[in-house]
Amino acid sequence: MALCGRVWQGGTVPPTPAGELAVPRLHRAARIEDAVHGLVERRLRRTGWKINIVAYAGYGAPGWARVLCRVLLGRPDVRQRARPEKVRGWRSFATLPAKYAKVTIEAGDVRQEATADRSGFVDTVIEADFTPGWGCVRLSVPDAEPVEALVRVLDPDVRFGILSDIDDTVMVTALPRPLLAAWNTFVLDEHARAAVPGMAVLYERLVTAHPGAPVFYLSTGAWNVAPTLTRFLSRHLYPAGPLLLTDWGPTADRWFRSGREHKRATLARLAREFPDVRWLLIGDDGQHDQEIYREFAAAHPDSVAGVAIRRLSPTQSVLAGSLPAPAGRPSAGPVGQKWLSAPDGAGLWKLLREAGLV
């Protein structure tokens, strides 16, 4: 893995010095977004808005860690900070990025500078002396309060990990259907979101059966909702673990980011970073999890311990925009792979035990 102080996600960098390669021209949608952000930013800065950092949990191994955060413009909101759990979905998206802000990352005696992309994101790797378990790094920008970002450091002896989808796997969302997605994402209070029965107990049993096993949550959802998802997972007693989400809005070359490519790229990255870990991939049959997991299992058979698919009910399948699966018909995976399917966490736990995965 190449280490660098700046990683650009779906954006472009400021003008490059003479002699360097030219950066491709941004997509029209991204240029429009940048122009609007520029106008709003100048106005908000005049009214006293300041830069702040939103830290996300990262991950790594002894010697390195992937650090994730976003730099935004904002103002203190006493009422929201007093009751952070009462947040309407739309508030998570009413943000303004601080483009190309310089972020200082400190891990012990190591200091490294990273530059946010055009959406305010920092996604970089820092080399430092990390020990297995949960650690933290310190993030700071000029004229803002420093924050700490958690880092899940995997023990080199760990050979089993859990990688889970979120939407309709741990949380009922009916996400693919546009109107319901808009209602669930932008309108509902986060307390109105329901957990999938038995999945939290399943995950807790898995991490108990495999001491030290990490739990990663991979979703096509936007980083804007990361704080909401973190509170949801904690409130419903899911094991703590890094969220692997994606950017929201136009990218450098298209109107909207590709959720499928985000999942494919993330799975491939984890296979490179942790070649000795075999992952239990958990998802549902309402979106594209089965297709993506099947491709990954075929390309990286040594990185897959098994695949557990939560089978949606006929009503949930219709709401999710897919056809109900035939009753009693299991999902098919690559030859030699343990591919399991059940409607809830209790059913999956029984199948996983029979398959020798716990």
The answer as to whether 9 is a domain residue is no
| pTM across the whole model | 0.79
Q: Which two tokens stand for residue 344?
A: 């809830």
> Total structural domains in the chain?
2
Asked which of 87, 121, 153 is the last residue of a domain, the reply is 153
- Looking at the structure, do residues 48 and 135 belong to the same domain, yes or no? yes
Band of residue 62 on the pLDDT scale cut at 50, 70, 90 = very high
CATH of residue 143's domain is 2.60.40
The answer as to whether 19 is a domain residue is no
The answer as to whether 16 is a domain residue is no
Asked which of 103, 131, 153 is the last residue of a domain, the reply is 153
Contacts of 142 (CB under 8 A, 6+ apart): 51, 102
Per residue in 226-245, pLDDT (tens digit) is 888 898 999 999 999 999 99
> Amino acid letter at 24?
P
The answer as to whether 2 is a domain residue is no
- Looking at the structure, do residues 209 and 118 belong to the same domain, yes or no? no
- Looking at the structure, do residues 179 and 277 belong to the same domain, yes or no? yes
Query: What percentage of the chain reaches a pLDDT higher than 70?
Result: 65
The answer as to whether 13 is a domain residue is no
- Looking at the structure, do residues 177 and 310 belong to the same domain, yes or no? yes
Q: What does the pLDDT average to over 258-270? A: 91
CB 124 within 8 A of CB 71: no
How far is the C-alpha of 41 from the C-alpha of 47, rounded, in Å? 10
- Looking at the structure, do residues 194 and 342 belong to the same domain, yes or no? yes
- Looking at the structure, do residues 297 and 187 belong to the same domain, yes or no? yes
Band of residue 139 on the pLDDT scale cut at 50, 70, 90 = very high
The answer as to whether 5 is a domain residue is no
How far is the C-alpha of 225 from the C-alpha of 36, rounded, in Å? 22
- Looking at the structure, do residues 221 and 291 belong to the same domain, yes or no? yes
CATH of residue 315's domain is 3.40.50.1000
Q: Return the SS3 of 12.
A: coil
The neighbour count for residue 186, using CB atoms within 10 Å, is 13
Q: Which two tokens stand for residue 148?
A: 């700490």
Ranges of H-type helices in 131-258:
178-182, 199-209, 226-235
pLDDT, residue 275, reads 97
Residue 122, domain extent:
28-153
- Looking at the structure, do residues 141 and 176 belong to the same domain, yes or no? no
Q: Can you spell out the DSSP letters for 285-349?
A: SSSSHHHHHHHHHHH-GGGEEEEEEEPPPHHHHHHTTSPPPPTT-PPP-STT--EEEESSHHHHH
- Looking at the structure, do residues 271 and 340 belong to the same domain, yes or no? yes
Single out the residue of 153, 155, 158, 163 nearest to residue 297, CA to CA: 163
Q: Which two tokens stand for residue 9?
A: 């996600």
More confident residue, 21 or 331: 331
Band of residue 119 on the pLDDT scale cut at 50, 70, 90 = confident
CB 162 within 8 A of CB 213: yes
Per residue in 301-336, pLDDT (tens digit) is 999 999 999 998 655 554 555 544 444 444 555 545
- Looking at the structure, do residues 124 and 214 belong to the same domain, yes or no? no
- Looking at the structure, do residues 291 and 192 belong to the same domain, yes or no? yes
- Looking at the structure, do residues 110 and 168 belong to the same domain, yes or no? no
How far is the C-alpha of 99 from the C-alpha of 73, rounded, in Å? 10
The answer as to whether 4 is a domain residue is no
The answer as to whether 142 is a domain residue is yes
SS3 content of the chain, % helix, strand, coil (to 5): 30, 30, 40
Asked which of 153, 169, 193 is the last residue of a domain, the reply is 153
> Does position 120 have pLDDT exceeding 50, yes or no?
yes
Enter the DSSP assignment of 21.
Answer: P
Matching residue, tokens 């760990």? 158
